[in-house]
Structure 1
Amino acid sequence: MDPVERAREILRQYPLCDSCLGRLFASMGYGVENAERGRAIKTLLHMRLVYDYRNGVDVAEDLKALGRVHAPTRRFLASNGISVEEARCYICGGLLKDVEKYAESVAKALAEIDFGTFQVGSVVPRDMLEREREIVAKFGIETGESIKHEINRRIGRAVGELLRRPASKERPDVVATVNIIDGTVKVARNPLLLLGRYLKLSRVVSQGRLVPGASRTIEEVLDPVRARFGGSALVLHAAGREDSDVRMLGNGRPAVVEIKEPSKYRGDLSGLATEWVILSPLKPGTRNDVREMKAKSKTSIKLYRAVALSDKPISAEDLAKLKALEGAVVVQRTPRRIKRLSPRARRRRMVYNIEAYQIADRVIEVFVRCQGGLYVKEFINGDGGRTQPSVAETLGASLEVVELDVLDVE
């Protein structure tokens, strides 16, 4: 239907300001603000009704309805002896005339945060939303946008002009929510995600929570990174996991460092070097990077080095038998040392290559190149038959892993 005729029907029943009328036709022409669109529709309707009125068509009631929300129509009616009082907008009650006034409060709330991108949200009175829905349903409007969208966009644009940066819908650093009811502003600081790799040089540092035998966690070691950005906490997301007594060497393990509630989103990305952990130079990341890293870690290829102690002497001929494990699919029940998972769960992982060297009569060094997720300690010691096949089973010996290192994460 012609938007002018549709507006004529709506205005007969509801007085609407320029913004609220124009918003009902928001998708009919881009690059035009709702107030401009509504004003143009009212002007066209005014011209049409005045033309009909002067040609003897009885449109007085439509003129009066338009006159409630259109000054030129009121002036025309007054010149013809008809008085019409201006009416408040049925939907917003006049709020949208100066909604940009909240921009200064938002800019002030963001002043203490060093951010790159922002977004504005709003809390709008429920009855205002219900009045808008009433009109949309009654007239079958399919071309509009919600009043919240308009409020957010207009305040966001005004804030952008004050701060000299545009609002962003693509995962902004900060979100400022304006309560239109009482004018308060709440700021949510989204986490800062930083991509990198870490090396763990110590056998007494745990990747996750503190466990027996560990003196600290990687997150504790990385706390200076949190401090650089003024965050409230640091969370490490890694591509796989190593035990606290396992070193992570080589090119390091892919990881995402998450800084909660930072006060700075721009800062030193040079990484960190300590005697326990080395973090490579960082770069900004996203939640999708975390998901992709986690998914890839289940299938990525890893290279391990283990030193194992045998209960009996191992000969070079014995070690040659381990070549039979290359290409094997290893089936593992959840290791007994891991109590958080179902003991009946079974995991299948591929062993691609294996090399073994004799260090002493009862000490061997084993290099295992395998699919990510293989429990390497249990692959070597057999875990009492819960892992098959295993190095211990193949050698016919009881093995204890005394050292384990991750040498590469491909």
Structure 2
Amino acid sequence: MDIIQEVEAILGYGDTCNHCLGRFFGKRSFGLTNEERGRALRVAHELATNEPHHEPDPESCWICGGELSRTEEWAKRVVEAVDGIEFETFLIGTKVPPLVAESEEMVWSDLSLRDPEPLKAEMNREVGKAVSAISGKTADLKKPDVVAILDLGEGTVEVQVNPVFFVGRYLKYERGIPQTHWDCRACRGAGCEKCNFTGKQYADSVEELIGRPAIEAFNAANAVLHGAGREDIDARMLGSGRPFVLEIEEPRKRSVDLAALEAEINREAAGRVEVHLEGWADRKMVQSLKSDKAHKKYRILVEIDGSVTPDEFRAALDQLKGVTIRQRTPNRVAHRRADKVRERQVLDIECTGSVDGRYWVEVVGEAGLYIKELVSGDNGRTQPSLAQILGRTASVVSLDVVLVKTANEYGE
């Protein structure tokens, strides 16, 4: 079947606008719009069949129903829909009614067409060009700031605002603050008497202390903290801080001064949390942060049941240095962690002093090493442990994280 016969067969299905006629051959030739291609094909068919010229009514097109002649109107709807949202790049997407998609695919299949372009592809491109002309913004297929979805069946535009990310380190000076928001265990976030109808297990979190000023600065819907691991609720995070990426969801503003935001976060969370913001980030950095297992240095205060001389204590610590520890999921986290045995190495451990019969200890461990259980033994679930070596009950009185370094920073 030659191209004229293909055109005649396509027109036999019903009234077809030039846009849609051209789309059936959309990947042939270059430098033509589908409308120009369709008009040329129509004229060529009329010349070949000696028929009078007929300019179709786009509204009567049996495939698109005239939508491809209304791209300027759709572009204006998009510009109205994104009014008040700060962005530089955008992407257009199109939801095509199932019947329309099936209709054009039926023609492709019936006629074994090799070079068609789907309706949604032309809508995305042509509306995108019109939006760019009106707004001065740039279409970006890979990482757009906003995505506008045209719903041809409903005649509506849905706007999706892509998140903004920035990276930094946080320090936590106050014990009793979790890293992220926890829903109330009793009501699961609905609000009840136990949580004073807040829906929260804890009044604040590092995520919220950093996130609240960020949400306001970006005029955003929410903020999600992605940390390089996490410290226990009763532990402080000191030293140079813990690396994190903050994800800002649905920001209506994007050009935020991070130095000013850092100052505002630190002012509002003074004495509790402090941040040092390092720059902008992206989704890949979140994945890298989560996958790069950071080594951590802890400072702990250890209490022993019974008398232990400093020499005995240091000798016991030496037996843990460089050793691989087998830890079954601790009892204290068994309700939310898989019950399995993990192997983690104690990279370094030493006593740095004592106070009131208790010992200060600094420990460097692989990511995932449970420090409290390294000391207590957790009723035999962690082996070896300090308590096991000493033959006495041992416990951590206080715990601070003083250094978090990624494997790359350790030169691994």
Structure 1 and Structure 2 fold alike (TM over 0.5) = yes
**Residue of structure 2 equivalent to 1:312:** 306
Counterpart amino acid of residue 258 in structure 1: E
**Residue of structure 1 equivalent to 2:21:** 21
Counterpart amino acid of residue 405 in structure 1: D
**Residue of structure 2 equivalent to 1:189:** 161
Contact 1:334 1:341 in 2 (8 A): no
**TM-score normalised by the chain length of structure 2:** 0.83
Q: Identify if the C-alpha distance between structure 1 residues 158 and 394 changes in structure 2 by more than 3 Å, giving closer, same or farther.
A: same
The residue correspondences of 1:68-107 to structure 2 (distance < 5 A) are 68-69=54-55, 88-107=60-79
Q: Which moved more, 1:358-367 or 1:258-267?
A: 358-367
Q: Please, which of 104, 108, 112 is the counterpart of residue 80 of structure 2?
A: 108
1:352 to 2:341 alignment: no
Identity %: 36
Deviations 1:74-128 (A, max 9, x none): xxxxxxxxxxx99943312333123221211211121111123222223333332
Q: Please, which of 267, 279, 282 is the counterpart of residue 286 of structure 1?
A: 282
The residue correspondences of 1:2-401 to structure 2 (distance < 5 A) are 3=3, 6-29=6-29, 32-45=32-45, 49=48, 59-60=49-50, 63=51, 67-69=53-55, 88-209=60-181, 216-222=204-210, 223-270=212-259, 271=262, 272-273=265-266, 274-296=270-292, 299-318=293-312, 319-341=314-336, 344-360=339-355, 362-401=357-396
Q: Shift in Å at residue 42 of structure 1?
A: 3.8
**TM-score normalised by the chain length of structure 1:** 0.83
State the alpha-carbon separation in 2 of the partners of residues 168 and 214 from structure 1: 41
State the alpha-carbon separation in 1 of the partners of residues 291 and 230 from structure 2: 13
Q: Shift in Å at residue 267 of structure 1?
A: 1.0
State the alpha-carbon separation in 1 of the partners of residues 15 and 208 from structure 2: 61
Contact 1:69 1:86 in 2 (8 A): no
State the alpha-carbon separation in 2 of the partners of residues 34 and 150 from structure 1: 8
Contact 2:97 2:153 in 1 (8 A): yes
Counting matched residue pairs gives 380
Counterpart amino acid of residue 313 in structure 1: S
State the alpha-carbon separation in 1 of the partners of residues 114 and 368 from structure 2: 51
Q: Shift in Å at residue 283 of structure 1?
A: 3.0
Q: Shift in Å at residue 152 of structure 1?
A: 1.9
Counterpart amino acid of residue 292 in structure 1: S
Counterpart amino acid of residue 140 in structure 2: S
CA RMSD after TM alignment: 2.8
Q: Identify if the C-alpha distance between structure 1 residues 360 and 196 changes in structure 2 by more than 3 Å, giving closer, same or farther.
A: closer
Counterpart amino acid of residue 361 in structure 2: V
State the alpha-carbon separation in 2 of the partners of residues 391 and 30 from structure 1: 75
State the alpha-carbon separation in 2 of the partners of residues 215 and 96 from structure 1: 53
| Larger gyration radius, structure 1 or structure 2 | 1
Structure 1 gaps, min length 5: 50-58, 71-84
